[in-house]
Structure 1
Amino acid sequence: MDDRPDMAPDDEAFSDNGKRQSQPIFNMPGIMLASMALLAVLYVVQEYMLSADARAEFIVTLAFTPVRYIFPLSEQGLEWLWTPVTYSLLHGSVEHIAFNALWLAAFGTPVVRRIGTVRFLIFWILSAAAAAFFHAGIHWGEETLLIGASGVVSALMGAACRFAFPDGGGYDRTHGHLYPRQSILGAFSNRTVVIFTAMWFLGNILVAVGLPLIGSDAGDIAWDAHIGGFLFGFLLFGLFDPIRYREV
């Protein structure tokens, strides 16, 4: 596994003869494009290639539901094992997947550049599970079906708060992966992080009390999974960060 972050992904590239080279149209890490492509392919299969019965079985087999965990695991299939992750690959509408893809690109890009592909995949798996079980803790035993990558996206937002918001203000998607990692307490001395986090939590609280927001037309929003994901990314990002210099 390559522990080195991409040190200058968006700087201008030049060939050996000094001529400027063309840059990719989509200036994102390959794993980000692959992730978005996988989400899109699964949505097309789910919505356009299956019969109604097969679609329902497909969703139930891959979606997360807390009710599975009140029954003995030995007396059921293995869905309890993979659904805490696979639910994050499904979406309920074009708007749902587009909304998550937008934020995935915005916050996943600097995280991938910071931690690399393998760590990103592990981060996705563990943050999806953390978001799912935070949701399950609030809806224990209920037959809710959880789908969507927003728990993972929230975890990426939380992770980005630890390094991609420079002290001078703003959010640096392009070079944010190069900044020192802030400690958990140190991050709250960053005014931009405080404002961003406060607005993020306010938005989810408004969703929790029933106020519809942008991107909410895909069904009920699992605000609790968002919070579980964000806390995972913010509190545990240091475990994934290959840059080991002292936190600030």
Structure 2
Amino acid sequence: MSTTAVDLVLFDLDGTLTDSAPGILAGFDHALATVGSPPPGDDVRAHVIGPPMIDTFRSLGLDEDRVERARAAYTEYYDSRGWSENRVYEGIVDVLDALVAAGVPMAVATSKNERFARRILEHFGLADYFRFIAGASDDGSRRSKADVVARALEQVGRPARSTAEGGTASVVMVGDRDHDVFGAGHWGIPVVLVRWGYGFESEHDAASWSVGSAAELTTLLSSLTTDAA
């Protein structure tokens, strides 16, 4: 791993900046009921938050017609009320304030629909912390973590370079699930996983760092971004 000081921090949204589980799971249940699919067990529900929702519907064995109808029902629910069934994790504002004070730019890279991500961050007064908020496209053509990380990098003027091309230097990603690790890792970006989100303990083995509190995250990012400003 490069010892170059980090000069750009990317953040996941769900499970990292905000606790969005109530709205996401309610929308998931609504979507399945709409297409007449029985609710899955807790083992499946535990993995719903993080990956693109359309991929989750496909993993349940729904045919493409029901997948599309479930996606539409989920989007309708989330657009009307699910997005607001949410809260900012304790200490997150302190993390962001510390990076602003250090002169380190930030962006969001989330598999959530980009419009919803921006709405949520604006609602909580967090949007202005970020140079750009990158999320999934309305048509689903951009939805993987690697795709949204690339969009965030491009929008802040940092070319996304894959590991085969040498990776993207001086950037770190903060997330809560292993798909954050693998998506950012596609571009050679190391990842900090937070323990207050929705990831399982085993997922943290793949991360470069793991932190259990916002204060610990602030300390780690301070050490990584020293002399970056």
TM-score by length of 2: 0.29
TM-score by length of 1: 0.27
1 or 2, which has the higher strand percentage? 2
Q: Give the number of the structure whose alpha-carbon radius of gyration is greater.
A: 1
